[in-house]
Structure formats: structure tokens, C-alpha cells
Amino acid sequence: MTLTSEALLAGSSATHLHDLPADLIKGEDGEQQVELRPLSVKDLQLIARAAKEDENLSAALMIQQALVAPALSLDEVRQLPAGLARHLVEEVNRISGIDLPRDALEEMVQAPLAKACFVLAREFGWTPEEVSGLTIGQILLYLEMGRREAAEA
């Protein structure tokens, strides 16, 4: 059975409460939690473009994008203690299904999307600019339409 695009994208809106280890939160008593959301492919593409070769900026942007509560600005994220920031990045990676080195992650995100854009441009006669303006949901929908059309032929 083939998944629908709605089912495939359903997890992207989920949020997760995460208990922070007490030793990472200075001056706070009791259990402390943050609310995180998984990063989407679009988030990862934007982060990769914005951070380019700056690993620290990449990590800060990942935290900033994933942190639902408390929401922090990029400047505030950059002020977090390094241990806490590392812990948050690891948790964001875990809930996002990312367990890869950063170089492999960027390659994993970019390669399938580049291939999908190539397929859509070829199948529908679109320009690369038109394809790059599509959302991930639209890309998946059009790829499925192309797959079904090819199966019927």
C-alpha cells in the first residue's frame, strides 16, 4: 500500500517535550523541559544554505528552528552554554531522524531533491526555477503522479 502525502508529512507538525539534564541547567531546581519539533527537509536546506561551511552557525540554526518553547532568537541560542547546545543538537537530530555526520546529512538532503527536481523538470517540462519553488509536499505529489502515469503506460 502506498502512503498518502498527508500521512508522509504528518510527523512534521509533531512536537516533543524533552527533559534537560540537571547538570546542564545552572541555577535551576527541579525538572526542566523544552519543547522541540523535528526539522523538515526545507529547514535543513535553509540551514545548509545559510550556514555554508560554518558548523557552529549550522548547530545554532538547528536549535533555533527546532525549539518551540521557549522560543529563542539566533543571538540567544548563540549565548547558550556549549554543553547545553550540543545536547539540544543531539536531541533535535534524534527526533528528526538524523543520525549522520553533517557532511553526509547535507548530501542526503540535497541529492534526492536535486534528482526529484531533475525528474520533474524532465517529466513536466518545467524550468529548474519553477521546480525549486515547489514545496516538499508538492514535489512528492507530482513525483507520485509521474510514477502512476509511468505504471499505467
Domains of the chain, CATH where assigned: 13-99 (3.30.2220.30), 105-152 (no CATH)
pLDDT at 76: 92
Which whole-number Å values give the CA distances from 4 to 16, 19, 58, 86, 152, in the listed order? 24, 33, 32, 35, 19
- What is the pTM (predicted TM-score) of this model? 0.58
Q: What is the pLDDT of residues 121-138, one digit of tens each?
A: 777 787 766 776 666 667
pLDDT at 85: 87
Q: What is the pLDDT of residues 24-51, one digit of tens each?
A: 776 566 668 899 988 877 888 888 888 8
pLDDT at 8: 58
Backbone angles phi, psi at 68, to 5 degrees: -85, -45
pLDDT confidence of 73, banded at 50, 70, 90? very high
Instruction: Please give the grid coordinates belonging to residue 18.
Output: 524533552
Beta pairing partners, 34: 18
Sign of the C-alpha dihedral, residues 107, 129, 50, 35?
Answer: negative
Contact, 12 vs 66, CB < 8 A?
A: no
Region 60-66: what's the mean pLDDT? 90
